[in-house]
Structure formats: C-alpha cells, structure tokens
Amino acid sequence: MKKRLGTAWPPLAVFAGFIGVWYFYSGVILDEVERNISLPYFHNVVDIAFLDGENRSELLSATWTSAWIAGIGLAIAVALGLFFAVLMSQAKWIERSFYPYAVLLQTIPILALVPVIGLRFGFGIGARVIVVVIISLFPIITNTLFGLKTAEQGHHDLFTLHKASRVTRLFKLQFPSALPAMFTGFQISAGLAVIGEIVGGFFFGRGATDLGNRIQLYAARLRAEELIGAIALSAGLGISVFWFFGFLRNRFTSSWAEANHT
C-alpha cells in the first residue's frame, strides 16, 4: 500500500496543481465571455461533458470509434514495421535501400498528406486507417531494427559455430534480444496512432463519428465544455494504449531482463 501511495501521490499532486492553475486562469485572467467560449471552469466541463447523459453517450461512442480505427491502423503498422525491420536486418544493402524512405515517410508533414489521401482513397474509415499507419510506422521500424542488431556478437558466433540457419538465428537470438526495443517502439506508435486517427477524423469530417470530427464540431459551435471533454478523452485513450503496451513489455521482457542480469 505504501508503495502504491508513493507512486500515485506525485502525479495526483501535479493534477491538483493543474486544476488550481485552471481555476485561477479562468476566474481571474479571463472575463465571463472569454471563459464561456474558451476555458470554462473545470466543474462546468465535468457537468456538461460527462454528467449530462446525452453528451456523455456521444463522447463515449466517438471514443470507441476512435479506439478501434486507431487499433486497426496500429495493427497494420506493427505488421508492416516488423516485416521491413526484419528485411533490413538481413543485409546492409537492403537497409541502405529501404531505410531512407522510412525516414522520408516520417519527415513529410502528415497534414500535407491528408488532402492527398482523401482525394485518392475517399474520406471514410479507410483513409483514416491509412493516416494512422503512416504516422505510427516509423518508430516500429527503427526500434525493431535497432533491437534486432543488438544481439551480442559472441552469441552470433555461437550460432555460427552450430551452423544455425537464418530463421533459427532470427527467432532464437535476434527477436528475444529485440523485445525491449520493439515494445518501446510499440508504445511510441500507440500514442501516435491515436493522434493520427484524430487528425484524420478532424480533417476528413465524414463517415463514422469519432473524436476528431467531434472536436471539429464542438470548436465550430463554440461548445467549449464538450470540446475540452473530447480532448480529455483523446488524451485518456492515448495514455491507455501507451500503458497497455508498457504492461505487455513488462510481461514479456521481465524474464529476458532477469536472464540478462544472471
């Protein structure tokens, strides 16, 4: 219990300080008109966005839609990222051929690609999934590739001595060594997947009702309480998937870490 309290109270104290600054800024810095259209009191956000049944249902439905679209895109990104990372780990010339394009994909502003994606693939769910894949692919490739290349040379020499095949070396040596880096990439990409889904929903504005087009609607209609509620749920969704992959990392790499320290 003491350990849990020691872990919980620092972020709770920061959150309490954040709420205090919020009330000070809304009540002292802003006048009533500015407060109503930009930053209402915290309790007003809770009352209107989450305690009102109709608004709560709308926000939770949009959150669920964003979650499964982001999940589909992230699953595709994981599959593609692992495939290209494994491919590039097998030969230097393959890495030199493909890696610059992975960097290029990361450096192109996603907002510049959104109109092109919409014009080519429409403005529905498929286009949002493509945005999620593009924005979340690079960390998976780089972290997995780094992890696959971190296996100790002595272990490689041992596998060579026993005339192990490439497949055996990959699954028995490189993948176990790469697990910590891989899950770090998954965590980063999980948060980016949520961002990509919301960006796609915000700019496409068609198809399924998600947090992106809810944010667009609330901003256009100056519904500040629901807007802040949607932003809070977006952050909560990103934190949840980040925590989930952190849990999986601890679950799957704890034995690896223990073996590495013995």
The per-residue pLDDT for range 192-214, each reduced to its tens digit, is 999 989 988 888 866 678 888 88
The token pair at 9 is: 């109270």
Buried b (16+ CB within 10 A) or exposed e, 11-37: eeeeeeeeeeebeeebeeeeeeeebbe
Question: What are the structural domain ranges in the chain?
Answer: 1-39, 42-257
pLDDT value of position 2:
67
Q: Does pLDDT of 70 surpass 90?
A: yes
Average pLDDT over residues 111-120: 82
pLDDT value of position 255:
60
Question: Is the CATH code 3.40.640.10 the one for domain 42-257?
Answer: no
3-state secondary structure of 243: helix
pLDDT tens-digit series, residues 227-249: 999 999 999 998 898 888 888 88
Average pLDDT over residues 97-111: 85
Average pLDDT over residues 49-54: 89
Percentage of the chain beyond pLDDT 70 is 92
How much is the pTM? 0.84
pLDDT value of position 179:
87
Confidence of residue 124 (pLDDT cuts 50, 70, 90): confident
Q: Does pLDDT of 80 surpass 90?
A: yes
Contact 39, 224 (CB under 8 A): yes
Q: Does pLDDT of 87 surpass 80?
A: yes
Q: Does pLDDT of 39 surpass 50?
A: yes
pLDDT value of position 261:
47
Q: Distance from CA of residue 177 to its chain's centroid?
A: 23
Q: How far apart are the first and last CA of the chain?
A: 30
Measured CA to CA, the distance from residue 34 to residue 82 in angstroms comes to 49
